[in-house]
Structure formats: C-alpha cells, structure tokens
Amino acid sequence: MREYTYLYGAFCPETGDSFQLILPYANGDCMNIFLNMLSEEFSNYRMIPGMDNASRHGNNNCIENIVPLFQLPHSPELNPAEHVWKEVRENGGFKNQTFDTLRDVEQKLCEAVLRLRDDKEKIKSLTGFGWVLSAISDIMIAV
C-alpha cells in the first residue's frame, strides 16, 4: 500500500528566507492552509509566489498580502522552487532510500527542510535566477 505526504514551500530568492509546511494532501484545502500560514508568518510583506497551473492552486482564498503569479503551462523549469525540491530529493537523504512508515519519511523530510531553511545562501543560489532577481527589483521600483 502506498502512502503520501506533501511538502509545500515558499522561498525568497533575494534573502534566502523560506517557509515550508508538510501536509497530508495536494489539494485546494491544503493549499489554503499553507497560504494562510505563510501570510501570517510574513504578515509585514507583500508576496508574489510563482505557481504552476495545478488545479489546487486556483481555488485559494483572496489573501491580502499574497498575489499569485501563475506560470505558463508545462513550464516547471520557470519555477525556482522546483530546484529546491530537487535539492531535497537528491541531498535530503531520500536517494536510494526506503522507509518503513510514512512517519519515517516525514521525519527525514523535516530534517532536510530544517537544514535547508538554515542555509539561506543555498536557497538564494537555488532560486536566485537573474531574471527573478531582476523582476523583484523592477517590482520594488514600480511600487
């Protein structure tokens, strides 16, 4: 029998700040939980998270300090978070690894996320593409 768990995350390519949450489903309800908690954690900031066009991303509530920016369909390479997920998979202790329980997976995931959260330079290097940093600069100037 297969069991699943899902890691949600938001990353700032400029500061290396990050926010992750492990939730049991990949659906609109869990996305809303994630976005509401993200909003609370960074209540003094306006955030523009890049999101793919997954159906779970489209039904989120209107949150005052979060304005989603939806990517072109079928373009995961445009989402810097995909590089963070690859880092977690490849260097978080999951490569060629099997687990006895979902709890064991979640424990390993927590360890990987905490290590990465504390390494702001790594987050910046994984997500700070030139075009992203330029867009951030342009948005900051335009506001």
- The predicted-structure confidence for 70-99, as pLDDT tens digits, reads as follows 888 777 777 888 899 999 999 998 888 899
**pTM tops 0.75:** yes
Q: Is 1 within the bounds of a domain?
A: no
Domain CATH for 49: 3.30.420
Provide the token pair at 61.
């509530």
CA-nearest of 12, 9, 31 to 89 is 9
- The predicted-structure confidence for 101-117, as pLDDT tens digits, reads as follows 999 999 999 999 999 99
Helix, strand, coil: what percent of the chain each, to 5?
Answer: 50, 15, 40
The one-letter code for the residue type at 66 is I
Q: Is 78 within the bounds of a domain?
A: yes
Contact call for residues 7 and 22 (beta carbons, < 8 A): yes
The total of structural domains in the chain comes to 1
Contact call for residues 34 and 24 (beta carbons, < 8 A): no
- The predicted-structure confidence for 42-66, as pLDDT tens digits, reads as follows 999 888 888 877 666 655 557 889 8
Which domain does 52 fall in, by range? 6-142
Cβ count within 10 A of residue 66: 19
